[in-house]
Amino acid sequence: MRPKSRTPKDMMPKRTKIATLLADGKTGFDTTVMGWIRTFRNNQFIALNDGSTNQTLQVVVDFENTDPALLKQLTTGAGIACTGQIVASMGKGQTLEMKATSIQVYGECDPEVYPLQPKKHSLEFLREIAHLRFRTNTFGSVFRIRHHVAWAIHEFFHRRGFVYLHSPIITGSDAEGAGEMFRVSTLDPTKPGLNEQGEVNWKEDFFGKQTHLTVSGQLEAELGALALSEVYTFGPTFRAENSNTTRHLAEFWMIEPEVAFADLDDNMDLAEGMLKHIVKHVLDQCGDDLDFLEQRLLEEEKNKPQNERSPLALREKLQFCLDNDFARVTYTEAFDILRNSTPNKKKKFQFVLDEWGADLQSEHERYLVEKHFERPVILYNYPAKIKAFYMRLNDDKNTVAAMDILFPGIGEIVGGSQREERYDVLREKMAAMDIPEEEMQWYLDTRKFGTVPHAGYGLGFERLILFVTGMTNIRDVIPFPRYPGYAAF
């Protein structure tokens, strides 16, 4: 029996997005718009927003001929549909408006309890109601730009013939060797089965072994690259680090390309090209949202001392990164610059640098970018002892072919390397770092059977969004942040 067709009366009317109306600028026609009321003034003027843009459409209500009961429902936050004629507007700051002929309220919103009133709210408050913060101008702009950045990334790799690879979220390996991973288990935590040694018997677990949420899709991406030549992953990764900072999350997204027949120079070229492609796309496609966020940042920084303000406005910062080649500096050169710098000599760095081989901290990275070179920096050839086992050992035996890209205001945004393709050298490095061969045999096989030079990197998606939006807390550029003590929604 065929399902009963819906009558025209039952069907949802087709709507036009507010962004489309404002971009077209046409008047003299009837249409329907749907969205949420931002304000309703004088029982006559609705400021309607549908999320397609920060701008609102003014809907003019004929209040003298409108049911008073309906007028009472037109409150901030209510979800409505309005049908009427689009006409030129004489109002300030708008080119067109709608003269409503009918209004339907889909969802009422009690103004007495609705948390988002037409006033400025702090970011801290909005984090507490993250399920509603999408409705604010700030987060509307942030998440529309986040979408555009994701689209630009896929576009960049697709145009270059890369294959998009989905790497596993549940993994039996630790790509970073950090050990700070979330365990995945179906065992009863109050009474897990024990083996003869009195340890948890992981063979009784769902996968028959210990498994975790992935910290990186890199190792699996390497497997794909060593057959498909050029692949990339783009997915969630997890770190069980007790880091309560403005730059760390427990769940975040990573973009990780891997390229066969590539060395460190190729890797740096690819990463710089990708970042510039993304920045150009945002400048070209996100003008209104950038304008709003730039003005928001200027207002926010008015209360800061001059030396703490951004030296460039948001658009200027993005354009600057687009117009200037990234500085390429070895770790050793950067270490010498930092060791001889005034902040280091006067012990103004929290982590004073003295001995070659120290791991650079965010304060050091930002000094290089913002004070010394005054442009994005690519550091390469790091000390082997502070980098992962899979990075290619250089001929000096002390450094590896690793690289990090540092951005103003952010510090490290990309980390990558040429991978160690030599079977014997890789085994020696694994043994030195106590990485058991039996657990990584699948990885070693790629070096036994047709190994080739290859390279790749990881881009922290949220840190990139911080940079292009000018936001200052990473918890404000991901829809539902996860951090120590917090996993709402």
Please give the average pLDDT of every successive group of 10 residues along the chain, which has 489 residues. 50 91 96 97 96 96 94 97 95 90 96 91 92 96 98 98 97 67 92 86 92 94 97 96 88 97 98 98 97 94 80 91 95 97 95 95 93 95 95 97 93 95 96 89 95 97 96 95 91
Return the half-sphere exposure (C-beta side, CA atoms, 13 A cut-off) of residue 178: 14
* Other residues' Cβ atoms within 10 Å of the Cβ of residue 206: 12
* Bridge partners of residue 400, in order along the sequence: 382, 393
Say how far apart CA 124 and CA 429 lie, in whole Å.
Answer: 45
Q: pLDDT for 405-420, tens place per residue?
A: 999 888 899 999 999 9
* Other residues' Cβ atoms within 10 Å of the Cβ of residue 225: 27
- End-to-end alpha carbon distance in the chain: 41
Say how far apart CA 218 and CA 414 lie, in whole Å.
Answer: 13
Given a contact cutoff of 8 angstroms between Cβ atoms, the answer to whether 355 and 344 are in contact is: no
Tokens 């030129």, located at residue: 88
- Residue 8 burial (10 A CB sphere; 0-12, 13-18, 19+): exposed
pLDDT at 9: 54
pLDDT at 176: 55
pLDDT at 25: 94
* Token pair for 465: 């969004």
Return the half-sphere exposure (C-beta side, CA atoms, 13 A cut-off) of residue 439: 15
**Any residues with CB less than 8 A from the CB of 288 and at least 6 apart, and which?**
53, 54, 55
Going by their DSSP bridges, the two strands 251-260 and 454-460 should be labelled as antiparallel
Say how far apart CA 400 and CA 232 lie, in whole Å.
Answer: 23
Give the domains, in start order, of the chain with CATH numbers.
Answer: 18-107 (2.40.50.140), 137-180+215-476 (3.30.930.10)
**Any residues with CB less than 8 A from the CB of 151 and at least 6 apart, and which?**
281
pLDDT at 3: 47
Say how far apart CA 405 and CA 379 lie, in whole Å.
Answer: 6
- Residue 407 burial (10 A CB sphere; 0-12, 13-18, 19+): buried
Q: pLDDT for 444-462, tens place per residue?
A: 999 999 999 999 999 999 9
pTM exceeds 0.75: yes
**Any residues with CB less than 8 A from the CB of 483 and at least 6 apart, and which?**
243, 244, 248, 249, 250, 475
